[in-house]
């Protein structure tokens, strides 16, 4: 286990450095003068005044060559200094901005993943048990229909139905915490996206397990079908499902942009767009670091779940 942790951390370190290097390099070389780009469409400073531009470059450490800037950024990052916002919230520490936003998105993403799994896994199991019957066809066709509806259509449709037609709730707007009634609709909209994937993955995994020799042996022993499904089929079949859930949770945390935009939720996805629009380099780099770490940690947790779900993997 220690060796596994060590190898993972080494891979994370190398991968993170490469991603940061490429991101920093694209901003430095591809976007041109960062300070000028930050303020070219702004009335905050006169970007045509060389003295003002030079002072701003010196203030934010952007007056040095690329290798020195990148080395300074990595050195500050290791010490816990994420830099200060240049345009989004001027001179406010980046970490103070990011930690609230990522907390909001993580709550939304985890809640949506739990709901999607709680609905999708039983539907997938039910579809596999009644393979090629009317229940299976109904479930599969329904999830295929959901797949065809993009989130920018789902959100307005549900708003119109629940708020205007049925009048069962007020317009959910803003963020008052994960236990507020305002998050019911945003979480539901986010959950709909991964639901078809979970259903199809669960169904396919169970259909594959059903043909295994040990399942036929369990049936030959006279075990109840419910026992066979829950004790002998679900655990190995859940291995690919857990992989899918891990990837989906990463996507939901990093990419629930449209939902955050429609419902005015100050999450991580919205922060990403705001930082890119305002060309706030320190926040763009922080978003890159955190987004990468979410992917690394999620994949690592999924790997740890494999031996728990499938005992055959423990010897490996």
At 48, the pLDDT band (50, 70, 90 cuts) reads low
Least confident of 25-39, 167-181, 192-206, 292-306: 25-39
At 312, the pLDDT band (50, 70, 90 cuts) reads low
pLDDT at 316 over 60: no
**Same domain flag for 157 and 47:** no
**Same domain flag for 117 and 261:** yes
**Same domain flag for 31 and 147:** no
User: Would you say residue 309 lies in a domain?
Assistant: no
CB 252 within 8 A of CB 108: yes
**Same domain flag for 7 and 140:** no
User: Would you say residue 281 lies in a domain?
Assistant: no
Euclidean distance between CA atoms 86 and 75, whole angstroms: 19
DSSP letters, 170-219, are: PPP-S-S-TTSGGGHHHHHHHHHTTHHHHHHHHHHHHHHHHTSHHHHHHH
pTM check: above 0.85: no
What is the dihedral sign for C-alpha 14, 18, 23, 29?
Answer: positive
**Same domain flag for 149 and 261:** yes
Q: Tokens standing for 190? A: 């986010």
Q: Encode pLDDT of 105-152 as tens digits.
A: 888 888 888 888 888 888 888 888 888 888 888 888 888 887 777 777
Where in the sequence is the domain holding 66, given as residue range(s)? 2-81
User: Would you say residue 57 lies in a domain?
Assistant: yes
Average pLDDT, the chain: 79
The pLDDT assigned to 310 comes to 62
Euclidean distance between CA atoms 27 and 314, whole angstroms: 44
* Angle at 109 (CA atoms; ends 173, 184), nearest 5 degrees: 40
Q: Tokens standing for 301? A: 């947790």
Residue ending a domain, choose from 244, 266, 288: 266
User: Would you say residue 214 lies in a domain?
Assistant: yes
User: Would you say residue 302 lies in a domain?
Assistant: no
User: Would you say residue 279 lies in a domain?
Assistant: no
At 1, the pLDDT band (50, 70, 90 cuts) reads low
pLDDT: which is higher, 233 or 284: 284
User: Would you say residue 96 lies in a domain?
Assistant: no
At 309, the pLDDT band (50, 70, 90 cuts) reads low
**Same domain flag for 117 and 67:** no
**Structural domain total, the chain:** 2
**Same domain flag for 214 and 256:** yes
Cβ-in-10-Å burial (0-12, 13-18, 19+) of 145 comes to: exposed
**Same domain flag for 75 and 116:** no
CB 163 within 8 A of CB 171: yes
User: Would you say residue 45 lies in a domain?
Assistant: yes
Say which DSSP state 166 is in: S
The pLDDT assigned to 44 comes to 61
**Same domain flag for 123 and 14:** no
CATH number, position 245 = 1.10.3720.10
Q: Encode pLDDT of 134-147 as tens digits.
A: 888 888 888 888 77
DSSP letters, 206-253, are: HHHHHTSHHHHHHHHTT--HHHIIIIIIHHHHHHHHHHHHHHHHHHHH
**Same domain flag for 74 and 139:** no
At 167, the pLDDT band (50, 70, 90 cuts) reads confident
Residue ending a domain, choose from 81, 96, 125: 81
């Amino acid at each position: 286990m220690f060796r596994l942790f060590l190898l993972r951390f080494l891979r994370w370190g190398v991968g993170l450095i490469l991603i940061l290097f490429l991101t920093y390099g694209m901003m430095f070389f591809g976007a041109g003068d960062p300070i000028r780009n930050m303020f070219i469409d702004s009335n905050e400073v006169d970007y045509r005044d060389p003295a003002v531009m030079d002072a701003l470059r010196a203030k934010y450490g952007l007056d040095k060559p690329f290798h020195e800037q990148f080395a300074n950024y990595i050195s500050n990052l290791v010490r816990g200094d994420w830099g200060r916002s240049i345009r989004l919230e001027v001179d406010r520490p980046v970490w103070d901005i990011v930690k609230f936003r990522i907390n909001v998105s993580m709550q939304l993403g985890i809640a949506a993943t739990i709901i999607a799994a709680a609905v999708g896994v039983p539907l997938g199991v039910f579809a596999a048990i009644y393979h090629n019957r009317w229940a299976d066809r109904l479930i599969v066709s329904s999830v295929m229909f959901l797949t065809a509806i993009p989130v920018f259509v789902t959100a307005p449709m549900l708003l119109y139905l629940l708020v205007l037609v049925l009048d069962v709730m007020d317009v959910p707007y803003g963020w008052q915490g994960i236990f507020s009634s305002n998050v019911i609709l945003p979480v539901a909209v986010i959950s709909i996206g991964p639901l078809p994937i979970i259903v199809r993955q669960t169904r396919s995994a169970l259909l594959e397990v059903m043909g295994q020799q040990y399942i036929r042996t369990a049936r030959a022993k006279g075990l109840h079908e419910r026992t066979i499904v829950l004790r002998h089929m679900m655990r190995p079949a859940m291995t690919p499902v857990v992989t899918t859930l891990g990837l989906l949770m990463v996507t939901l945390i990093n990419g629930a942009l449209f939902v955050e935009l429609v419902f005015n939720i100050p999450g991580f996805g919205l922060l990403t767009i705001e930082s890119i629009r305002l060309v706030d380099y320190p926040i763009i780099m922080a978003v890159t670091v955190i987004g990468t770490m979410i992917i690394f940690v999620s994949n690592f947790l999924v790997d740890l779940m494999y031996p728990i779900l499938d005992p055959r993997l423990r010897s490996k």
